Chain A
Amino acid sequence: MTTVARDPVAAADPAPAPPTRPAAGPSRHRYRAAAGFAFGAALLFAVAPLVLSDFRLSLLAKYLCVAMVAVGIGLAWGRGGMLTLGQGVFFGLGGYAMAMHLKLADAGPGNMPDFMLLYGQLDELPLWWRPFASPWFALPATVLLPMAVAFVLGSLVFRRRVRGAYFAILSQALAAAMVILLIGQQGTTGGTNGLTDIQGFFGYDLDDPVNQRMVYFIIAGTLLALLALARHLTQCRYGELLVAVRDSEERVRFLGYDPATVKLVAYVVAAGMAGLAGALFVPAVGIISPALIGIVPSIEFVIGVAVGGRATLLGPVLGAVAVVWARTALSERFPGTWTYLQGLLFVVVVAFLPGGLASLIGLARRRDDGEPRPGLLRRLRLRRREGAA
């Protein structure tokens, strides 16, 4: 009601249009972001390899892959309000595409991957495996395949305004269907075991610690690039539109935008990020299996994001790394305790701290700034008016 009442006032009195950002804003923001990136790069590229043992570094590589998925979820869920409980599907598509290529490369040209011989149901390579022998197909496929699936599902679902809990359930059902399909087609997908025992990565032996280090550097670099992309997407006009769709989809529609397209972009980008993460996860860990991409891991991706702070840029990354790290540290020694703790994390963070740990910092910062920023829809309207004038 209050916003409706405010509209005529805003229309009648357009004079004191506040600047959309503080005057010193853009440059200061950019400076701060650049410093942050430099700090993150130094941490990932210099400090971590020096301080951590090879084993710890490869664990960190694994965590950073999860963090990449988290960046995408932060975009789709934190900014776009789409609770996607099926990111494991996209992670898996990327992972399987990469693993299929590496398996074929391991086996050598003309040969079949070892597990297919083991199950012995096939005389020759199945047709849909064949393109993955070429890196020129497999590498783009790790990203484009998940994006294509997300595009098809997203455009069908968002256009018909299926949203909120309905969308969450559908995305979860997709994860369930994918896992059952993978397990069911054991002869060609490796079934429950997945694709295991991957030895080489484009000619580099993955058992060699030096090459593991290289994989780590690739992963760290990719994560930074994805963070830059996410930051760009949230800072530009599109990012504001996405948040507006999250907060009030119908009003954005009335303003003349198509919310379905806005959501679709974030969902597809998030899927691409998850696919890339899956693809890099394979050389880092040497395995991809249904247990890594099903309903439970898919929802575990989300909890890291929730813990860190869903609507922030760094929150999902830090939260995801922290949660996966805690699980590795605790679940080996006290498996039961970890499950309780994980459950409690979900309950406590989501119910009582919906902004995640980042909101604790955010609260302090807002108090320093004093002046609250104008509401988002108001800012959008002002900007559109500026554009029209």
Chain B
Amino acid sequence: MTVLIGQLFTGVSIGAVLLLIALGLALTFGQMGVINMAHGEFIMAGAYTTYVLQQVITAAGWSLLIALPVAFVVAGAMGVLLEILLIRRLYARPLDTLLVTWGVSLILQQLARDIFGSPNVQTRAPELLTGNIGLPGGITVANNRLFILALAGSAVVALTVALRVTPLGRRIRAVVQNRDLAAVSGIATTRVDRMTFFIGSGLAGIAGVALTLLGPIGPTMGTNLIIDAFLVVVVGGIGQLKGTVIVAFALGVLQATGEYLTTLSVAKVMVFIAIVAFLQWRPQGLFTLRTRSLA
């Protein structure tokens, strides 16, 4: 029983990381149909922001707290820059966007190598987040994992509230549901697109800050995570956050269970097969707003 709950928590914490990364993707992919492969490098930018801030502010707790908004803005600004310079021109060709942003991600990785060096760097975690909490029943839970879970939870809540309540959120939802109708209703869709890209990329920055608690920071840290996150979006369906949330945790738990029963590598293959099987059942993803359109 203890083992079971422990594994469940491992799965949930893997899911929380996936969720943080996939939220931003779901937003940009859902609204604009844009596959941003450089999203992984925005994660990296967030992580390096934390690292740089810790060089300036040595108190680990404070630097982490300050890093959260700063990384959001840094990664968000990078996203907006990318949108203005390249993606804007490619809305009609989503597959090509994928390749173009892959090129951008190569450039950003090399930039990180040239600035910070190719070896990984490490941040110090604040003392509060290094220990474990013992729960009744002999279960121990790592503090940093708990923090990431809380962070992912608050990101979901904040995003949901923002989408439901604020005027910007209303506009975003309108554009997702029907871009043309939103445009003729007087919504400046290009400006909404840009804001969406800012928020989505900013969330990647926050994910980057969270990842500094789990491991080293390196130029290629984003590449390994991005595919799993994309799978979450594909399976979760676009246009609604709840699909992303459910699938992120489901994949996390599946991964952890598979890893526990077999090995990491077999678990990855199992997850892939499960996804293909799932798409047989619901090719459009778990929840989706739009019906399959006739192209």
Which residues on A are within 8 Å of B, measured CB to CB? 81, 83, 153, 156-157, 160-162, 164-166, 168-170, 172-174, 176-177, 180-185, 248-250, 295-296, 299, 302-303, 306, 336, 339-340, 342-347, 350-351, 354
Per-residue A-contact encoding for B218-248, CB less than 8 Å = 1, 0 else:
0000010001001100100000000000000
Is B100's CB within 8 Å of the partner chain A? Answer: yes
- A336 (CB) vs chain B CBs: closest residue: B110
B275 x A302 contact (CB < 8 A): no
Encoded as 1 (CB less than 8 Å from any A CB) or 0, chain B from 110 to 130 comes to 100110000000000000000
Docked CA distance A342–B100 (Å) = 11
Identify 18 residue pairs between A and B in the complex whose beta-carbon atoms are under 8 Å apart, listed by A's number. A83-B95, A161-B292, A162-B279, A165-B33, A166-B234, A169-B35, A169-B227, A169-B230, A176-B227, A184-B263, A184-B265, A299-B102, A302-B99, A340-B107, A340-B110, A343-B105, A343-B107, A351-B100
Cβ contact within 8 Å between A164 and B231 = no
Select A173's contact among B35, B272, B292, beta carbons within 8 Å: B272
**Assuming A177-B272, A181-B268, A336-B113, is B283 touching A160 (CB within 8 A)?**
yes
Contact indicator B265/A181 (Cβ below 8 Å): yes
* A336-B283 in contact (CB<8A): no
Given contacts A347-B103, A351-B90, contact A181 B234 (CB under 8 A): no
Judge if B214 is at the interface, Cβ distance under 8 Å: no
- Residues of A contacting B: mostly: helix
Which of B89, B109, B295 is within 8 Å of A248, CB to CB? Answer: B295
A351 near B230: Cβ-Cβ < 8 Å: no
B259 to chain A, nearest CB (A): 11
| Chain B residues near A (Cβ < 8 Å) | 29, 33, 35, 86, 89-90, 93-96, 98-100, 102-107, 109-110, 113-114, 223, 227, 230-231, 234, 263-266, 268-269, 271-272, 275-276, 279-280, 283, 292, 294-295
Contact B95 A160, beta carbon cutoff 8 Å: no
A157 touches B96 (CB 8 A): no
A173 to B233, CA, bound (A): 13
Give Cα distance in the complex from A168 to B280, angstroms.
Answer: 16
CA distance A287 to B275 in the complex (A): 32
State whether A344 and B295 are in contact (beta carbons under 8 Å apart), knowing that A165-B98, A302-B99, A350-B96 are contacts in the complex: no
**A161 interface neighbour in B94, B227, B276, B283, Cβ under 8 Å:** B283
Roughly how many angstroms separate A180 CA and B255 CA in the complex, as a whole number? 13
Told that A339-B106, A343-B106, A350-B96 touch, could you supply 8 new A-B pairs with CB distance under 8 A?
A162-B283, A168-B98, A173-B272, A173-B275, A181-B268, A184-B263, A296-B223, A302-B99
A170 to B227, CA, bound (A): 9
Nearest Cβ in chain B — how far from A352, in angstroms?
8
Contacts of B234 in A (CB 8 A): 166, 169-170
Provide the bound-state CA to CA distance between A295 and B223, in Å.
9
Give the most central of A299, A342, A343: most B CB within 10 Å: A343
Determine if B103 and A346 form an interchain contact, defined as CB atoms under 8 angstroms apart: yes
Q: Determine the chain B residues whose CB is within 8 A of the CB of A306 once the complex forms.
A: 99
B128, chain A: closest CB distance, angstroms = 34
**C-alpha spacing A173/B294, complex, angstroms:** 27
With A176-B227, A295-B223 already in contact, the answer to whether A351 and B106 are too (CB < 8 A) is: no
**Contact A350:B99 (CB < 8 A) given known A169-B227, A180-B264, A180-B265:** yes
Among B99, B283, B295, the most chain A Cβ lie within 10 Å of the Cβ of B99
